[in-house]
Amino acid sequence: MAHIQDLLQEISLLSSTSATLDWDQETYSPARSVAHRAKQLAYLQGKIHKLQTSDEFCDGLASLDPANQRELTHRYERATKLPQKLVERDSETSSLAKAAWSEAREKNEFQTFAPHLAKLLEIAREKTGHWGFEDEPYDALLCEYERGAKTREIATLFDSIDTELAEIAAAAVEKSSVIPADFLYGPAPIEAQQTLNREIAESLGFDFAQGRIDTTAHPFCTTLGPADVRLTTRYENNDFASSLFGVMHETGHGLYEQGLPTSEFHLPSGQAVSLGIHESQSRLWENHVGRSRPFWEKWYPRAQQLFPHLSKISLDEFLPAVNRAAYSPIRVEADEATYDLHILLRFKLERALLAGALEVSDVPAAWDDEFE
């Protein structure tokens, strides 16, 4: 029993070290550090893979309680099907791709990212070949995020709601078109945004003795240790709401992570059960709470104090503005009515890419066609 626990603790330490390096790459690391950082992360992932696929790890599984044994056996079986060199190459390629994506986003130039996406796609196909699948390659990757889910079942579900979702979104966007919202945009000093973001996150229950908020190009939440949860956001100097709702979304993720038992951080029982559950928490706080009247009855006076351009805008004018629907090509800025359309679109494109029905070079055109 002690030996498997020692292995799990070592894997946990390596994983949290890897997460820390990854967080640093997406927040503060200098641009020219990327190549070495990618090798660091690949090295750590290789070490983790070696431990997870060892005979000692396998032999120790039987001594665990049924729930942790079940989950770790599943991870062991998945890990043993992948060559260590592939795991390392996947990690290094992903790190380099993140940096390329940031550059491409800044330049609005897909060609900068395309070669990296092609390499990631090649690796994804290799992994599905090693893992195997029941119906199509996408099944093998889906298992990493929602265990037990089948591509055909999700496709059937999405096909059954696609038309109605589009109609709901169109109706919401049309009705929202008459709602004034220009007043939301005005001077929003980053320091003032940081103040409101922190105060609201703390009021929702996020413990800043065990976490923090930093700046990045694409908001995310990550856990670096049993008492170390990092939220990130981005800022526009004339749009406080974009950053705030992003922080509320990531706070939902953070609250879930901070609510897990720290004594079991090295075990599945101390980790998130699925990304689906995770996303349910983030969207709950962002939308059901963050766009509600009771929430803004409490927080609107503080927002007006920090952002004086709102001082002459009543709460009754403000609420419809932050709840209006509008099409956006950026998923994290999509509203409740249009957000699900992003999921349907991405599922369709990812599935086509993996199956070879769509080439990487054709992704921008395919995106534009579907988004229309």
Q: Give all strands (DSSP E) within 198-260, no chain letters.
A: 211-215, 221-225, 228-233
Question: Alpha-carbon distance 250 to 291, whole Å?
Answer: 15
SS3 238: coil
Q: Cα–Cα distance between 307 and 235 in angstroms, integer? A: 14
The answer to whether the CB of 258 falls within 8 A of the CB of 221 is no
Question: Angle, nearest 10°, between helix axes 336-355 and 151-176?
Answer: 140
User: Which tokens in the block code for residue 370?
Assistant: 């579907």
Instruction: Confirm if 261 and 293 have CB atoms less than 8 A apart.
Output: no
Q: How far from chain centre, in Å, is Cα 220?
A: 6
Nearest 5°: the CA angle 272, 144, 25 is: 75
Q: How far apart are CA 332 and CA 299, in angstroms?
A: 22
Closest Cα to residue 334, out of 194, 176, 186?
176
Q: What angle do CA 20, 24, 30 make, to 5 degrees?
A: 150
DSSP string, 164-194: HHHHHHHHHHHHHTTS--GGG-S---HHHHH
350 is catalytic: no
Active-site pick, 26, 88, 92, 250: 250
Active-site positions?
Answer: 250
